[in-house]
Amino acid sequence: MALNLCSEAINPRPIFHIDSVESDDYPVSNLLKSSNSLESNGFMFSHYIRCPVSLTVVSPFPWNLESIRIIPNVRSHKSISFELYIKSKDLEEFHLLSRYWNLKEELLMLQNNNFKGKIECATNERKLISSNLKKIVVPTRMRHLLASVTEIKIVITKTLNASIPSIGKLEIWGEPSEENLYKVSVIPRVIDIPVKPVEEPPQTISGIESALPEIPNELLDPITHSVMCIPMILPSGNIVDLSTIDRFNSEQALLGRSPSDPFTGVCYTSDIRPIFAAELKTKIDKFVIKRSGSNFVRSEVSKLLTDIKTARYLQQGKEKISGSSTNGLIKEEDVRNKRPRARITPKIPSASDVVKRYRR
């Protein structure tokens, strides 16, 4: 039988190391969640990270490896090219175990046919099985390296359609080496029953984009894959939304780095910096108005402006708005007619006026 190293049932648990920033919503700790957990959403790097990236799993004790099973996608983001490295007691450096390009299957599995379990397990955890899988068998000449694995390094070298590097689920099956068999506090029992993969609903786009079935690629942010509001031309020639640049700069600031191009890493200067794409902004506005309906958009914008003005003045007192004295306020009828009068600044008494008042 075998144990899953990437499981909450194993104690002590493995340690994960990544070479780039992880996503706040999909941290690497999700890989330890069970398949039945609601928090098992998979692991993703941050939205601006691009390949190659690596994930290293450090075992708390030497591990006799039986198989590595990887679900390569999280929602619409999919990793399609991998390199697998291992480090054992006999290897001081990482050794290439296998690599695979352009994965089209739903599950990637690396199998060690020479594995022979020495322990009995007792839990209901199941191995990842799918009819649509890619199975790679470890060559015979390399199987002796799998008896005492201490670290496993997974390098993602390519993603589908330049999406975010991600791993939906990771299972490392095997058992501790013979001298460490009794260092595991919980020993589960594995029942290898085929499990039909759960098909997640396609990711929907909220807001205005949900009403746009056909969106030109030039209007989409290449990093977030959403319609841009304020398109900016980067020094590298790529066009992204201003919010994407702001978020990237804030995350770079946390790492002590200067603002730079997300694609090239070149720092901004007074001459090299993002430029507003006015022509593309015009195309985006026309597209949104055309798809959403010009009359509808204009009416909604008009209502929104009226509501904002009304709420602002009502906070200062409804009875003052309806009165005849302006005193720095705008009358209620001006708000309804959308012709606000010029704001009159109330007179602030000077120091001499205050002194005269107290002398009286």
DSSP 215-267: --GGGB-TTT-SB-SSEEE-TTS-EEEHHHHHHHHHHHHHTT---B-TTT-PB
Query: Taking residues 342-350, what's their average pLDDT?
Result: 52
Query: Taking residues 299-319, what's their average pLDDT?
Result: 57
**Does residue 298 form part of some domain?**
no
Final residue of a domain: which of 269, 292, 315?
Answer: 292
What CATH number does the domain containing 279 carry?
3.30.40.10
Q: What is the pLDDT of residue 302?
A: 59
Q: Count how many domains the chain has.
A: 2
**Does residue 276 form part of some domain?**
yes
Are residues 20 and 98 located together in one domain of the fold? Answer: yes
Q: What is the pLDDT of residue 194?
A: 47
Are residues 244 and 126 located together in one domain of the fold? Answer: no
Higher pLDDT, 213 or 174: 174
Higher pLDDT, 298 or 251: 251
Are residues 275 and 172 located together in one domain of the fold? Answer: no
**Does residue 352 form part of some domain?**
no
Task: Give percent above pLDDT 70 in the chain.
Answer: 67
**Does residue 230 form part of some domain?**
yes
Are residues 151 and 51 located together in one domain of the fold? Answer: yes
**pLDDT at residue 127 tops 50:** yes
What CATH number does the domain containing 88 carry?
2.60.120.260
234-257 pLDDT, tens digit each: 998 899 999 989 988 888 888 888
Are residues 42 and 178 located together in one domain of the fold? Answer: yes
189-240 pLDDT, tens digit each: 444 444 455 555 554 444 444 444 477 888 888 888 888 889 999 998 899 9
**pLDDT at residue 38 tops 50:** no
**pLDDT at residue 158 tops 70:** yes
**Does residue 54 form part of some domain?**
yes
Domain boundaries, position 234: 215-292
Provide the token pair at 72.
Answer: 């390569």
- pLDDT category, 69, cuts 50, 70, 90? very high
Are residues 18 and 164 located together in one domain of the fold? Answer: yes
Are residues 179 and 30 located together in one domain of the fold? Answer: yes
**Does residue 351 form part of some domain?**
no
**Does residue 348 form part of some domain?**
no
Higher pLDDT, 328 or 355: 355
The residues, any chain, with a CB within 8 Å of residue 109's CB and separated by 6 or more, are 67, 68, 69, 70, 128, 133, 134, 135, 136
Are residues 57 and 116 located together in one domain of the fold? Answer: yes
Round the average pLDDT of the chain to a whole number and report it.
76
Question: What is the distance, to the nearest Å, from the Cα of residue 289 to the centroid of all Cα atoms in its chain?
Answer: 30
Q: Say how far apart CA 197 and CA 127 lie, in whole Å.
A: 12
**pLDDT at residue 155 tops 90:** yes
Q: Say how far apart CA 199 and CA 178 lie, in whole Å.
A: 39
Final residue of a domain: which of 240, 262, 292?
Answer: 292
**pLDDT at residue 327 tops 70:** no
**pLDDT at residue 329 tops 90:** no
- pLDDT category, 10, cuts 50, 70, 90? confident
Q: What is the pLDDT of residue 27?
A: 92
Q: What is the pLDDT of residue 331?
A: 47
Q: What is the pLDDT of residue 307?
A: 60
Label residue 328 left, alpha or beta by phi (over 0 means left) and psi (-120 to 50 means alpha).
Answer: left
Are residues 236 and 176 located together in one domain of the fold? Answer: no
Are residues 127 and 269 located together in one domain of the fold? Answer: no
Final residue of a domain: which of 183, 201, 223?
Answer: 183
Q: Say how far apart CA 170 and CA 7 lie, in whole Å.
A: 9
Are residues 145 and 21 located together in one domain of the fold? Answer: yes
**pLDDT at residue 115 tops 90:** no
Are residues 220 and 171 located together in one domain of the fold? Answer: no
**Does residue 114 form part of some domain?**
yes
